[in-house]
Every structure is written in structure tokens, then in C-alpha cells.
Chain A
């Protein structure tokens, strides 16, 4: 934290030091890919790569929002439950519109808008409680995590909300199709990542986030509107949860109380693996992207082999995560 503080005013050292930090997660990624290739010849096949990237894209898009929140010294534990509520509301809205609008693209578009609106509103709620209510982000979002989770259970009446079959058919291509063989989720993930990288590196907002995470006090004296910047990070997070769910719903066309369970931890893990500091002050979007891909590949590799007992999947995951962060810390200290 204290290390990164001077970077802020001194318009970033995009030189040597950042290169060193970069090596850690990339190295872990390369090692995983090599492991994958050695385990299964289909590992690098087009189908496997698009499968892994497409299903990682939900966590990826959410993790990019989380990078902003964490960089600005905040935390959002509610994203997984929020995703479930957004999915639930989208399905309910679309099903409710069918009698009046029929099975049309309009229904899907309104459903998507509703998803973004619910995500944004949830983000505003979290953000206001943190900034105006002056409650610890951990507590606020722990609370909303529980609220959202029960809300989706309530909406689904304890069961599963399913999208009307015909609308689901219409909506399905949003997950399964794409341009030039690249599925939409991967395209959207890439666009969000590029946008996030630009905002984080090239805009005043990105620098404010890092400054606030580094030292809230100094940021205040530098006349940064700390509360507003923080509020915006939570809103961005909420909207990005909405975007992720837009791509999630067409996959299975359903939402239940198991939707998005532990997504918050995966998102936070991806952010930290990518080199963002958990305490804030330094954030790297594309590191997060690498982190997300690492997590996605771990799950994939575990399914592609039969040496490791499925009982030990969690342990393997844990080792890789710690290793990825360790590689990077080692390099930085050197």
C-alpha cells in the first residue's frame, strides 16, 4: 500500500516494476496451460478454449467491477447473491411480459434492461450505505449478501425460476453464438476488460480510485470527492453484475437459490491473483483477467484428469491460488 502511494501523483511507473509484478500471474497461467497440454490433447482445442473462456466470463465481468471497488479500498461480498436476484428478476419480468408482448425480441430487451437496472440499483444501495451511512463495506455487503440470497429463494418459492421455453430459445444465442466463432460472452468480457483497463489507467477516475485506496485522508485533502468516487465504484460493480447476468440467463434459462453461490469469493480471488492489493491503492484490470482465466483453467484441468481424487479438488485449487500470488510476491520482493 505504502509502496504504491507515490505512484499516484507521479503519473505511473509503467516501467520495470510493473513488469515484474506482471510476471507472477502470467507465469502461473503459463504453467497451468503446460499442465493442461500434458494432461489432454484436447486441452488447446477450439472447443475447450471457448468453453472455458465463455463460462469464466461471468466471474470475469464481475471481477473487473470488483477490481475498481477493491482498488478504492472497498469490498463487495454481495455480488454472487446479487447476480442471483438479477437473474431471478429478469426471468420474472420476461415471463410476465409474454402475455402482452408475445415472444419477441422486445421482451428480451426489456428483460435485459431490467437486469441492468436491478444491478445498478443494488450497487447504489450498497454504495450509499458505505459512503453516506458510514458502515464498513464488509458489514454492508455481508448484510446485502444475505438479503439478496433470501430474496431469490423467496422469489423462486424455494425452487427454480425458469424462463419461458420459447423466449429462452430466442435468447439462447446470446450465450451460445457469436461473431467469427467467438462466443458473445467472450466478446463482452474482452470489451469490458479493455474498457476497464482504459478507465483504470487513463482517466482521472481510475487514479482517484487508487489514491483513495492508498490514503483516504490525503485524497480528501487533495480535494477528491472520496464519497462520490467510492459510490461510483459500487454502482459500476452493480451494473457489471447486471451485464454478467445478461449472459448467464440464456445459458440455462433458470435461476435458483444456488445461482452465483461463492461467485464473490471467486471474483475477489481473481482480483488478488491478478496483482491488485486487497487493501486497495493499486489495481490492475488485465491482471484480473489473467486471474479469472487461471481460476477457470483450474476447474477445467481438474475435470480433464483422473489422477487427483475429486475429493481433493478444493485443495488443488487452493494450492494454485496461493502459488500464483506467491510467485508474484517473490518477484516483487526481489
Chain B
């Protein structure tokens, strides 16, 4: 009897040791993103979770810790917890407010973790090992190029901006630089916060205020959805066109259908978080060299190439 017990204990011990040996090869990757406070961040959350589910099957040795935070202090707390309690090997982070979070992310880096920053540039260089982002100035420039092409003789346009954060500024600056020297006149710009309801309100008031509008730059597809309803309500859909941004499926479909009101869109794909997680995992599990900067283009989506951007699965 005693012998059996001893044997059993030995087996259990061996098993535990074996388990521990395997666990040493395992890697833990933390993924921290801002809460889904508008359509685009909603897309980020969706693609992050979808990528994690898929990679968990591909790499059984990789464990993912996912957190979604409503503000910078919560996001900082999230990554601190990931380092101290989950002992992550690598961090993929889309910082909600990059300036506020730079030092917290630097601490993760100083603790010897592999750090991937997505979409938003930190306030000091050289913190991250890998940087994956969309091209914000490019979004402004590509949009400006389309306006120049669509309005060769110039005309009046209005601009619906996003939230007052650096990304918005970069896009608007690049856009303004792009249309400089043309006869395109920006009547006014207002913040519509990348949000449908605000897009509706701001556009309604612009329509009240300006009898002659030829083009609308909404910068974001959610804003554009609201603005389009306002334009339709005023019955002025034949007078102008509107350009959004980000590449929401519903909008790409309109572009593909040749909608005159929405002739083009400019991509700024929330799936960039997937690229970041994939590369980071490949590095953490397989040691693939990935350090550097990856800038995903902000492409002009036209009726001709719209089909490449359509994805039935995407919720965004």
C-alpha cells in the first residue's frame, strides 16, 4: 500500500516537473487597447480579440492577456498588472493617450520586455522595439489629392474634424498643406469627434450657415454617416460629395456601388492591431526578427479597388 502511494506521489511529482519544464517554453503576451469608444476603436477591439483567438490555436505555447481601458490611468494600471502579476514577455499596446503613457510604457521596456506600440507615437523615441501604425499625414494628403482632382476649379468645402488630439492635427495639417495654392476654400471646421450624432449636428448647422458647399471632408466614416443623413434631410445630396476615412464596410460598399455622394473613402484600418500582434507573437515564440517601423498605407479607396477592401466578417 505504502509503495503504491510512494509511486503515485513520484508520478505526480514527475508530472508536475514535466509540466514546469514545458511552461518555461511558454510565452505570455500582453495586449492593451483603448475601450471601444467609437467605431474605429470598436474595430481595434474586435480585431485584437479575433487575432488572439486565432493565434492561440496556431501557437499553443503562447498565452495572451487582453485588456481594454477607458482612459490613460486605467490603461497604465493594466500594463503594470500585466508585468507584475501575469509576467508577460511582450507587450502590444495601442496607447489611448500616448503622451500620458510614455513613461509607463518605458518602464515595461526597462523591465526587459519586448514592446510593440501601435498607431500612436510616444513622446520620446526609441522606447518601442516595434512600431506599427497607419499613415496619418498620408490620410490627409491622399484626401487632399482627391479633392484637387475632383474640384479642379476649386470651390467651397467644410471640414468635420475628429477629437482634439495629435492624430487629428496631423491629418488636418497634411490636408491643408495638400490643398494650398488651389481655389479650394475651407469655409469652416468644427470638431465632430469621430461620432455619428455629432457629425449629424455639425453638418446640419453647416448646411444652415453656408448656401454653397461643394465638398465635405468628414475624415471618419462614422462622422460621415451622420453628415450624410443631415445632407439628405436638407435635400442637398446633389450639390456636394463627402469623403470619410477609416474604411468602414458600409462606406466601402457605397463606394463600390458608385454612390455619387460618397465617391471615395480613405483606409485607416483598425486591423493594424492584428499585424502588430502577429509580428510580436512571431518574435516572442519563434524569435523571428521584427524590430522596426511598419507604416500601413492610407490608401484611396475608389470604385475600382473597393472590392479589395470588402470583408463580410468585419464588424467595422
The answer to whether A45 touches B208 (Cβ under 8 A) is: yes
- A159, A176, A251, A300: the one within 8 Å of B42 (CB): A159
Q: Size class of B's contact patch?
A: 35 or more
- B38, B41, B161: the one within 8 Å of A310 (CB): B161
For residue A158, CB closer than 8 A to chain B, the reply is yes
The answer to whether B209 touches A303 (Cβ under 8 A) is: yes
A168 to chain B, nearest CB (A): 10
For residue A252, CB closer than 8 A to chain B, the reply is yes
For residue B225, CB closer than 8 A to chain A, the reply is yes
- The answer to whether A256 and B39 touch (CB under 8 A), given A45-B208, A158-B315, is yes
Chain A residue at minimal CB-CB distance from B36 = A158
List which A33-85 residues lie within 8 A (CB) of chain B. Answer: 40, 42-43, 45, 47-48, 51, 55
In the complex the two chains form, what is the Cα distance from A252 to B204 in whole Å? 13
List which A122-178 residues lie within 8 A (CB) of chain B. Answer: 153, 156-160, 162, 176
The answer to whether A252 touches B200 (Cβ under 8 A) is: yes
A47 to chain B, nearest CB (A): 6
- The answer to whether A256 and B42 touch (CB under 8 A), given A47-B234, A303-B205, A313-B191, is yes
For residue B281, CB closer than 8 A to chain A, the reply is no
- A176, A256, A306: the one within 8 Å of B188 (CB): A306
For residue B61, CB closer than 8 A to chain A, the reply is no
- The answer to whether A158 and B42 touch (CB under 8 A), given A153-B36, A258-B195, is yes
Q: Size class of A's contact patch?
A: 20 to 34
- A40, A252, A254: the one within 8 Å of B209 (CB): A40
- B37, B201, B316: the one within 8 Å of A299 (CB): B201
In the complex the two chains form, what is the Cα distance from A258 to B38 in whole Å? 6
Q: What per-residue 1/0 map shows which CB atoms of A248-262 lie under 8 Å from chain B?
A: 000110101111000
For residue B43, CB closer than 8 A to chain A, the reply is yes
For residue B216, CB closer than 8 A to chain A, the reply is no
- B38, B46, B161, B208: the one within 8 Å of A42 (CB): B208
Residues in A neighbouring B190, C-beta threshold 8 A: 302-303, 310
For residue B181, CB closer than 8 A to chain A, the reply is no
A162 to chain B, nearest CB (A): 7
The answer to whether A304 touches B208 (Cβ under 8 A) is: yes
For residue A221, CB closer than 8 A to chain B, the reply is no
List which B219-254 residues lie within 8 A (CB) of chain A. Answer: 222, 225-226, 229, 233-234, 250
Chain A residue at minimal CB-CB distance from B33 = A158
The answer to whether B200 touches A48 (Cβ under 8 A) is: no
- B37, B233, B234, B315: the one within 8 Å of A258 (CB): B37
In the complex the two chains form, what is the Cα distance from A217 to B200 in whole Å? 47
Residues in A neighbouring B205, C-beta threshold 8 A: 48, 51, 300, 303-304
Residues in B neighbouring A156, C-beta threshold 8 A: 36, 42
The answer to whether A304 touches B209 (Cβ under 8 A) is: yes
For residue B197, CB closer than 8 A to chain A, the reply is yes
Residues in A neighbouring B42, C-beta threshold 8 A: 156-160, 256-257
Residues in B neighbouring A162, C-beta threshold 8 A: 250
The answer to whether A159 touches B208 (Cβ under 8 A) is: no
List which A232-257 residues lie within 8 A (CB) of chain B. Answer: 251-252, 254, 256-257
In the complex the two chains form, what is the Cα distance from A159 to B188 in whole Å? 30
In the complex the two chains form, what is the Cα distance from A153 to B33 in whole Å? 15
A249 to chain B, nearest CB (A): 12
For residue B78, CB closer than 8 A to chain A, the reply is no
In the complex the two chains form, what is the Cα distance from A45 to B205 in whole Å? 12
In the complex the two chains form, what is the Cα distance from A183 to B205 in whole Å? 17
A158 to chain B, nearest CB (A): 4
The answer to whether B250 touches A40 (Cβ under 8 A) is: no
Residues in B neighbouring A259, C-beta threshold 8 A: 197
Chain A residue at minimal CB-CB distance from B314 = A159
Q: What per-residue 1/0 map shows which CB atoms of B190-210 lie under 8 Å from chain A?
A: 110001110011101110110
- The answer to whether A303 and B201 touch (CB under 8 A), given A176-B233, A258-B195, is yes
List the 7 shortest-distance A-B pairs measured between CB atoms, nearest first: A303-B205, A158-B36, A159-B42, A158-B45, A159-B315, A158-B42, A48-B208
Interface pairs (14), CB distance under 8 Å: A48-B205, A51-B205, A55-B200, A153-B36, A157-B315, A158-B45, A159-B46, A252-B226, A254-B196, A258-B37, A302-B190, A303-B201, A304-B208, A310-B189
Known contacts A156-B42, A252-B226, A252-B229; can you find 17 more A-B pairs with CB under 8 A? A40-B208, A42-B208, A45-B208, A47-B208, A156-B36, A157-B42, A158-B41, A158-B46, A160-B42, A251-B200, A251-B229, A252-B225, A256-B39, A258-B37, A259-B197, A300-B205, A303-B190
